[in-house]
Structures are given as C-alpha cells and as structure tokens.
Amino acid sequence: MKRLLPFLFILTLQADDTTTKKGFVILNTLTQQTDYEMRYASEDNFIGSVITGYEAPRCYLSKEAAKALLEVEKELQREGLRLKVYDCYRPQRAVDHFVRWAKALDDTKMKAQYYPRVDKKVLFRDGYIAARSGHSRGSTLDLTIEGLDMGTSFDFFDPRSHTLSTAVTQKQHQNRLLLKKVMEQHGFKNYAEEWWHYTLKDEPFKESYFDFIVR
C-alpha cells in the first residue's frame, strides 16, 4: 500500500458512468501476452476475501498508462519474458475496505502469508495501509516479470519488499532492477517501498480518485 497522500479530491462515480470510463481501457482486451492474476478479485490477498469494488478480474488503466505498458510488454517479449499483473485501477471503495480491515485488529487470517513480522496495529503508522491510493487515479499498477524470483511475494508487508532492500539475494536484487529498468524506460516510476508498484510519471488524472466498480 502506498503511504498517505495529500488530500486533493475524490471523484465519486457510478459503476455505469460511461463518461468516466472514456479515459480508461481494459488491458485484458488489448493483450493476452500479459498474465493477469488479479488478486483483489479473489480471496488470495492479504485480507483473504474478495475486495469491495472488484466484480471481475480485469485490469482497468488510463489510456496513457496502458499504451506505455504495452511498450514494456513488447520489450520484455524480445527477451523471452512476460509480465504478470496483480492490480491496476483500484476503486476508492476498495481502499476503504482496506482501512476497515486494518482497524479490525483481531482479523489476522492472512498474517502468516502476508505480514508475519509486522504487527497489524502499525500498518497505518508504517505506511502499509493508507486512506488514499494512487491506484484510484488509474495510472498505477502492481506487477512482476513472470517466473523471476523477486525475493518476496506481492503485497508482502515487510522492509524486505523495499525495491533496493539488501535483505534479498543478489539474483533477486537483479530481477527487481530489471523490472525497474524496463518500466522506467517507458515512463513509469517505482514506489521505493514496494518493488511491484509503478505509476506513470505523466499520469492524466493526478487530482482525481475514482470509484467505479471493476466489472
């Protein structure tokens, strides 16, 4: 989860608001060369249930972010590599679900898998959970290179998940840097505390936090 962002404003939208979706595309319909493992549309995530706002395993992105990501995909394909996407646009109602869960300190169903060394009560303080997420602006996504060992799993709440952590092996470090290099070459920037988290530098909706349902 990205650290608390300065409050700008939230653009609340109905699920059928086609005007809103004009600036977005569904990556799944543009390419099947990328693997889609949309964790929040399943129970395989740090909460252990389908997250509010996810009704289908689809990757919505702003048109600009999707275009840049397709160039990343092409470059990796030339090396015989393939992207795997875990999350893309995230409705504000999903972020609200994360916040409710973080406050329920007795719900530690997925602790052993996702935050074994972190006490749940510090998730807000340490920035693992926040009330706003860049994902809700539509140009941020979580991803990896399929088959490469990155040292931790996606959404692993631990300092070892920091992109430049020295607590991983040299090979795992190199794999993270490969992802970072190719993403940066095509206009994305990494969030240093999460090796999987990237945002388009020139994102089109910098001041909007959307809330339409992923379906």
Is the separation of the CB atoms in 81 and 145 below 8 Å? Answer: yes
Comparing C-alpha atoms, which of 209, 1, 208, 187 is closest to residue 86?
A: 1
Comparing C-alpha atoms, which of 35, 151, 43, 52 is closest to residue 99?
A: 52
Catalytic entry in 73, 193, 194, 203: 194
Handedness of CA 23, 61, 128, 179 (dihedral sign): negative
- Specify burial of residue 52 (Cβ count, 10 A radius: 0-12, 13-18, 19+): middle
Question: Which helix (DSSP H) or strand (DSSP E) does residue 97 occupy?
Answer: helix 92-103
Alpha carbons within 13 A on the beta-carbon side of 107: 11
194 is catalytic: yes
Catalytically active residues are 194
